[in-house]
Chain A
Amino acid sequence: MSHSTTAPPKRKAGAWAVKAVAVVLAFIGIVLLGGGVYLILLGGSWYYAVAGALLLASGVFLFRMDRTGVLIYAVTWAITLAWTVWEIQFDWWAWVPRMVAPTVLLVLVLLCLPALGARRSAPNQVA
């Protein structure tokens, strides 16, 4: 993973931005995973633990500058959308906590794509 150090300055800045997003995702993922497991133990919804695990994975991949992270986040977002519709249908106020923040994150993650552009996923890169 020493490529970034040899990258041109512009790319380097982009990489730092991606890593920042990755750290945020991973942090949120850890909190959601921990709290979500507790919620499951209390008899509650499985969504948060699942979403937390996926966010964490997404963060890890992104930190490695791996586009798989984007894919995982996109899947998480889609799951969130499906779950929202399933749980509360189209009560729009109830969509706010479920969809607004994940969608903001989706935009950030998609903005990472250019910075990740040169490299597909890490294994491809190696190949």
Chain B
Amino acid sequence: MTANRYPLLAATALATLPLMAFAQQEAGDAASEQPTIESAPEAGEGPSSPQPGQDDREDEQQDATSPEGTQPEAGPQGAARESSPQDGASDAQALAEPQDLPEVGADWPFWGGDAQATRYSPLDQITPGNVDQLERAFEYHTNDMPEGTAEGKYSPEITPLKLGDDVLMCSAMNILISIDAASGEENWRYDPGVPNEAIPYGATCRGVSIWTDPEAAEDDICKTRLIQATLDAKIIALDAEEGVPCTEFGENGMIDLWEDLGQRVPGWYAVTAPPSIVRGVIVTGAQVKDGQAEDAPSGVIRGFDARTGELAWAWDLGAPEENRDGPPEGEVYTRGTPNMWTTAVSDEELGYVYLPLGNSSVDYWGSNRSEAENEFSTALVAIDATSGEVAWSFQTVYRDVWDYDLGSQPTLVNFPHDGDTIPAIILPSKQGDIYVLNRETGESLHPVEQYQVPSRGNVEPEYLSEEQPTSTYHTLRFDPLEERDMYGMSPLDQLYCRIQFRRANYEGFFQPPTADAPYIQYPGYNGGSDWGSVAVDTDRGVIVANYNDIPNYNQLIPQEETDWPIITDGGESGEGSGKGAPQEGAPYSIRINAGWRSPITGMPCTQPPYGGIRAIDLETGETLWDRPIGTARRNGPFGVASHLPFTIGTPNNGGSVATAGGLVFIAAATDNLIRAIDIETGETLWTDVLPAGGQANPITYEADGRQYVMIAPGGHHFMETGVSDAVIAYALPE
């Protein structure tokens, strides 16, 4: 497959040709002077207001980029695309230069650690030699626990940030909190009052983002902003130090994302991921309730000026040109298009934001999808954040009817290649394939193999693709299931699972959905890699990837045979419901047995391990070590904890942190342990029991010369790992 499966790109480029001439010149000049200022007035009717002090800002930003020097010439493509803001983009333009970004180390300033999302920290106080002395330094409680209808819906998945003296975070219901990084004392909190009815599938706030206004004076309020997108679809900007709303941003520090989406149905459009910020543009998608109806809110991706909150651009793949500045009066963004529920990564240098898109709604039926949806569903799309135009896209599933949403935040690396390094992006997927793409062009650095699917089934054979891409760099996927892989606590329930196996339609990877009998989807929609993403130790050249190894047991059910109400049991894109979804508007609803659990014992029908963690050589893609993750202590038949200390390899959600000290910190598994793993050997050197499941990414930072490892083990309803409001910091004894 070629990276550019995108005819529209050509069209877009043609359409903007007249502007490109102008742009080329602009790009050429960009490094030295300030043509963007001239371009701003021509922006015409946009919602922009003239930016006071624009000139200073330009200058400051030039300085900020100078260390990297050559950036604007980085690629003809990148340069050309910078051209395109033809209208309404003056705000974005004003900020269109790369900014100086905070670095990981003492701080953890981005959700993925650094701007590249490597989840790798240069801290080395904690080492394999002393990690066994690690102890709890403090424990903070957000006091955000489920009440009323939120009961049983909490999956906070919180990853804090650390900046300066503070740890900044959100709670499950989007309460913004600042605590002291060394003591855990609360500095302030801000409760936006998200109602329970806004909870989509789970009350989740994976994280927050920080943006520093390069133009603001050092002691200006809101110079450094804490930015959060909420379950009830708002973007909130607060001063990161004081916790007060940034009044110049949106309406009193708030933007309403429901605008231009059509009918408001609480819970149908919710943001659970931290927004990505690139060149002063806040970029966000949202989780659109999966599997409910064809007529779901749009998956539109929007960019907002981080200073003013004005819409900088919108990328509506159903109407990219028409809706770039928002839909015309009285209309809405194209409904039912693929959404991005997970976290994007920004490339400040190129000015691109890389969007891991999900699947089109509904998930398990595709014949009525538009060509644009077919083009972009389950694809990584690079958008030029200064213009909102597509730079390239790379599709990981053709015509996805498996709900293989891209769940991981990709990671930017300088990839060693033929004695040189290439600016690349690592893209993990739920199928397990890990791709390495040139981040300027979207081309895979390794051949992409075309897998011939075993069958296109009998439900919509004309729609489904005969082949699917797979990575020759690395895959976390295992061999197809066989009858002997069936599990149980005894021969009796194992026999039951074997019968289920034989009754199902299953011919291997990319088994198409069927209605005449159940079918097996393996890997299931939980991965491979999910939102926890991978960590990349860029010093040692090692990718650390935890993964799930679990099938789903599904069946399409003709609509006339079901009368499931909409909303009740839909799934989060990415984690999905365990039971099914009505898929209204499609001829079939879908019945899902997530993890293919035996109805007799509640245990998985397939044998362990159900999850593992693997170290991969960055340069070669070869496995360095691979181990099951998660002990059996909390798992057992009939939902009874076995208390067995053996590592069995459990389902896991949540990522890892790698440190220069040579350790990998990860919880993720359903055993509610956090552990430190030797990155060289894969050996677990230290564990601690958490109050609930650590389905969250840990972080590490330094305060007063002491290295801390922090995790917010909020538990997860779908993973059945309890619920907690604790935020725990570990450190070596003083």
Contact = CB atoms under 8 A, between A and B. Distances in A.
Nearest to B489: A97
A108 interface: no
B607 A35 contact: no
B495 A39 contact: yes
Contact of A44 (B492, B502, B607, B608): B502
B726 to A, nearest CB: 32
Contact of B489 (A31, A80, A101): A101
B498 A98 contact: no
B490 A39 contact: no
Contact of B502 (A31, A42, A80, A96): A42
Contacts of A116: none
A45 B483 contact: yes
B490 A35 contact: no
How large, as a class, is the contact surface on chain A?
20 to 34
A43 B503 CA distance: 10
Interface in B465-522: 483-484, 487-496, 498-499, 501-503
Contacts of A45: 483-484, 498
Interface string A66-90: 0000000000000010000001100
A77 to B, nearest CB: 12
Contacts of B495: 32, 35-36, 39, 48
B648 interface: yes
Contacts of B494: 97-98
A102 B491 contact: yes
- SS class of chain B's interface: helix, strand, loop or mixed? helix
B490 A101 contact: yes
Contacts of A87: 484
Contact of A42 (B488, B493, B499, B608): B499
Contacts of A42: 499, 502-503
Interface residues of B, number: 21
Given A35-B499, A48-B495, A97 B484 contact: no
Contact of A32 (B489, B491, B502, B608): B491
A97 B491 contact: yes
A51 interface: yes
Contacts of A100: 489-490
A122 interface: no
A38 interface: yes
A79 to B, nearest CB: 12
A88 B494 CA distance: 14
Interface string B107-138: 00000000000000000000000000000000
Contact of B499 (A44, A51, A98): A44
Contacts of B499: 35, 38-39, 42, 44
A41 to B, nearest CB: 9
A113 interface: no
A28 interface: yes
A60 B293 CA distance: 57
A32 B498 CA distance: 12
Contact of B491 (A51, A88, A94): A51
B492 A32 contact: yes
B490 A97 contact: yes
Contacts of B496: 35
A102 B501 CA distance: 23
Contacts of A44: 483, 498-499, 501-502
Nearest to B494: A97
Contacts of B498: 39, 44-45, 48
Contacts of A32: 491-492, 495
Nearest to B496: A35
Contacts of A31: 492
Interface of B: 483-484, 487-496, 498-499, 501-503, 607-609, 648
19 contacts: A32-B495, A35-B495, A35-B496, A38-B499, A42-B499, A43-B502, A44-B499, A45-B484, A48-B491, A48-B495, A48-B498, A80-B491, A93-B648, A94-B484, A96-B489, A97-B488, A97-B491, A100-B490, A101-B490
